[in-house]
Amino acid sequence: MTFELGLNYWPSRSAMYMWRELDLARVRDEMQHIADIGFDVVRVFALTQDFLPAPFTVAADMVARLVDVAQCAKDAGLKVVPTLIVINMSGRMWWPDWMLDALGRPADLFSDPTILRSQTLLVETCARALSGDAAIRAFDLANEIDDAQRPKTRDAGWLWASLLADTIRRVAPGASIQIGAHLPSLTTSNNMRVDDLAAVADEDVMHAYPLFCDVARSFLDPELVPFSCALTAGLAGTGRPTLMQEFGLCTAPPGVAGHTITDDFLGRPRSQYLASEEEGADYYDAVLNRLVQTGAAGAYAWCYGDYDPRLFDMPPFATAVRERTFGLVRADGREKPAADVFRRLRKRREAGALVHANVARVLDMSADEYYRAPAAHFERLYAAWLSRDTT
């Protein structure tokens, strides 16, 4: 099995505003840069606010732009993973206005008939538009949907995922399906259990950042990501290796030492670490090697580029300072040292020098037992992971 290298993508100049002000020439250049670094895959995001502007109404111009962006990636030799339901993104909830009541409260994504039917229509329209394109690596149903809203029951989460997955399979038969889950599916009872998602999807994926995990030993703990991958594989129970669909870190300006800031995290203050660029490269190198050694399917870094300062007075960057500088590339297009970590790994892979191990065994109980106390079991199993013999 080939260890897959992927990159999560928003354009450096427009970020989450890309669909409203799409600059295809710039996207084309950035896709070529991504390919030149050595990536196989790019993950892009159909922001629900732009793609679903009214009930039962998919914006045809936005779908056409998604097809154009996929073509830019294809022209650069990249595969594409389109994420089709995107409300939570980079420290902000991008709800379409029509989904909110007069007090700004959203309707139920998982049970409201109008909302469900509209989501299904969006997924169907995008998947049909891209169906049959050899550049489509997989369809990702949603990005960390439980941050936007948790399903009220486990069954509601499973039914929502099943409905959307079945819709894709009907219009894009043979396409692989992912569901962008993150650490709360390992550490909380969020009704988006890994084993339930695995029963619906064709691949098991996880997002993990020490920045957002209280169990991590530090902001740059290199073991959390591979552990989360291995634990996901155990809970999924499918025998499949897990893809780390998101991991990364934010950096300080070039030449500036790493330092801690207090940042806004979904409306709450939280300490965050802006690593030096050299620390960032060391972190990526350590995590990638551990992912290979513990049997992960691959790794998608977050993200391509830092964002243009012109965006810093706009959501989410006005309050979520960390989100400005997660890139492997600076806002001016110059690469950070971390980009070369991926370039070297690609060369090692091409030379046949990557020894891809079997999936590390982590779980010592059934999924049902684990989810009776997920936070406690996560902490206990992570302690065991850290004390394991790796010789």
Residue 266 has a pLDDT of 84
Beta bridge partners of 180: 143
The tens place of each residue's pLDDT in the chain, 391 residues long, gives 799 999 999 999 999 999 999 999 999 999 999 999 999 999 999 999 999 999 999 999 999 999 999 999 999 999 999 999 999 999 999 999 999 999 999 999 999 999 999 999 999 999 999 999 999 999 999 999 999 999 999 999 999 999 999 999 999 999 999 999 999 999 999 999 999 999 999 999 999 999 999 999 999 999 999 999 999 999 999 999 999 999 999 999 999 999 999 999 888 999 999 999 999 999 999 999 999 999 999 999 999 999 999 999 999 999 999 999 999 999 999 999 999 999 999 999 999 999 888 999 999 999 999 999 999 999 999 999 999 877 6
Residues 6+ apart with CB under 8 A from 175: 127, 131, 136, 138, 139, 168, 169
Q: Please state at what angle helix 24-37 crosses helix 337-350, rounded to 10 degrees.
A: 60
First to last CA, the chain: 24
d(CA 273, CA 245): 21
177 vs 113, 127, 199, 263, CA distance in Å? 23, 11, 11, 34
Q: Cα–Cα distance between 11 and 24 in angstroms, integer?
A: 10
How far apart (Å, rounded) are the C-alpha atoms in residues 281 and 137? 27
Rounded CA gap, 158 and 326, in Å? 32
> Cβ of 391: how many Cβ atoms within 10 Å?
3
- In CATH, which of 3.40.1010.10, 1.10.20.140, 3.10.180.10, 3.20.20.80 is domain 4-386? 3.20.20.80
Note the pLDDT of residue 1.
Answer: 72
The predicted-structure confidence for 310-320, as pLDDT tens digits, reads as follows 999 999 999 99
CA–CA distance, 257 with 251 (Å, rounded to integer): 9
Length of the chain measured in residues: 391
In contact, 90 and 148? CB cutoff 8 Å: no
Token match 């972190």: residue? 283
Calpha distance 95→224 (Å, rounded): 31
Give the pTM: 0.97
pLDDT value for 391: 62
Give the dihedral of Cα atoms 67, 72, 74, 79; nearest 10 deg: -80
Nearest CA to 315 out of 146, 62, 11, 93 is that of 93
Nearest to 45 by CA among 15, 98, 89, 82: 82
The DSSP letter of residue 103 is: T
What is the spatial distance between Cα 273 and Cα 262, in angstroms, rounded to a whole number?
9
Q: Which amino acid is at 300?
A: Y
pLDDT of residue 227: 99
